[in-house]
Structure 1
Amino acid sequence: MTGAGIAGIGTDLLRVNRIERIYARHGERFVQRVLGADEQLVHARRTARDPRRGILYLATRFAAKEAFSKAIGLGIHMPMTWSRVQILNRRGGAPEVHLSGPLKDWYDARFGQAHVSMTDESDMVAAFVVIEGRPPAAASDAQPLSKH
C-alpha cells in the first residue's frame, strides 16, 4: 500500500446455485448486465470449454463487484453500475479492478488503488476488496495559500 491507509473494505459470499438460477432464467441478458465487454469475452470462452467454468466465472465476478460496491460505500447506485467495473486477470493470473465511465472519474477523485481477491468452491464463491485512500499530495503539488 502507498501509505494513504485503507479507505474501505468489502466482502461478499455467494451460493453458486443463485447465479445458476438467474442465468437459467435470463441467459445472456444477465451476462450483459453484470459483465463488462472484456469480461463477456472471457465468460464466452470459458463457457464454450465447460459451462460450469462459465458459471463460476460469472459468480466470482458478481461477488467481486458486490464487494467492490460495499468497499466504496455506494452499493449498486450511480455512478456504480455492474458493467463499469471489470475484474480482469493480469498475465500472471492475479485479478485486478478496471473501471470505466463516470464511475472511474468518481473513484479516481476519492480513492487510490483497489485490491481484490476471489475464491470459488463447487457451491460457493467469495470476494474481498480493499480500497486504499488517495495518496497525500506531494509538497511540490501543494498550492500556496492566497494572501488577501
Structure 2
Amino acid sequence: MAVYGIGTDICDLRRIARVLERKGDRFAQKTLGPTEWLVFQHRRAREASRGLAYLGSRFSAKESFSKAIGLGMRMPMTWRACEILNHPSGQPFVRLHGELAHWFAERQLQAHVTLSDESDYTVSFVVVDTLAVTP
C-alpha cells in the first residue's frame, strides 16, 4: 500500500449554525447524502446541538476527503456522492456513490477517516491509500 493523499479540515459549528438559520434545511440537504440525512434528522430531533455537530462533522470530513483525493469539490466529487457513516462500533467510514464510487474503485483506493468535535469546532482527518501492491 502507498499513501495516495491526506486531507484535514476544521469547521466552526457557529458558522454552520448561521448558514442553517439563513438557508434552513436546503444547506443540509445539499451537503448530506441519503443515509446521512436520516441520521441528521434523528439527531436534531433529539437535540438541536447534536444535529448541528453531526452536520458540521460531515461537512468537515467531506472537505478532508476531497483534499485527500486531490479533486477538491470538482466532479466526480460532490457533497452527496460522499457519505461519512459510522460502523456499529462508532468508527466512521466513507461510503461513495455513483460516478465518484466508480472513479475511486478504478484507482483501487481506500479511505480512512477520523472525526473529533468540541462545543464550537469539529475536525476531520482523511488518509487515502492504494489497495494495489506493486511487485
TM-score of Structure 1 vs Structure 2, range by shorter chain? over 0.9
Moved more, 33-42 or 109-118: 109-118
Q: 1:92 aligns with which of 89, 103, 110?
A: 89
Alignment of 1:130-141 (within 5 A): 130-136=127-133
Matched residue pairs, number?
Answer: 135
Structure 2 residue aligned with 1:115: 112
Q: What is the DSSP-based 3-state SS (H/G/I as helix, E as strand, rest coil) of the residue aligned with 1:126?
A: strand
Determine if contact 1:7/1:111 at 8 Å carries over to the other structure. no
- In the TM superposition, residue 113 of structure 1 has moved relative to its aligned partner by 1.4
Q: Does 1:21 align with 2:42?
A: no
Residue in structure 2 matching 1:39, options 26, 36, 39: 36
Gaps of 5+ in 2: none
Query: Structure 2 counterpart of 1:79, which letter?
Result: P
Partner SS for 2:80: helix
Q: What residue ranges of structure 1 are gaps of 5+ in the alignment?
A: 140-148
1:49-64 mapped onto 2 (5 Å cutoff): 49-64=46-61
Q: What TM-score comes out, normalization by structure 1 length?
A: 0.88
**Does 1:126 find its partner at 2:95?**
no
Q: Is the 8 A contact 1:6 1:132 kept in 2?
A: yes
Instruction: Determine the C-alpha separation between the residues in 1 that align with 2:25 and 2:48.
Output: 13
Give the secondary structure class of the aligned counterpart of 1:91: coil
Stretches of 4+ aligned residues off by more than 6 angstroms: none
Q: Deviations over 1:63-107 (max 9, x none)?
A: 000000000000001110000000000011100000000000011
- Quick check: which has more Rg, 1 or 2? 1
Distance across 2 between alignment mates of 1:82 and 1:42: 16
Q: What secondary structure is seen at the aligned counterpart in 2 of 1:83? A: coil
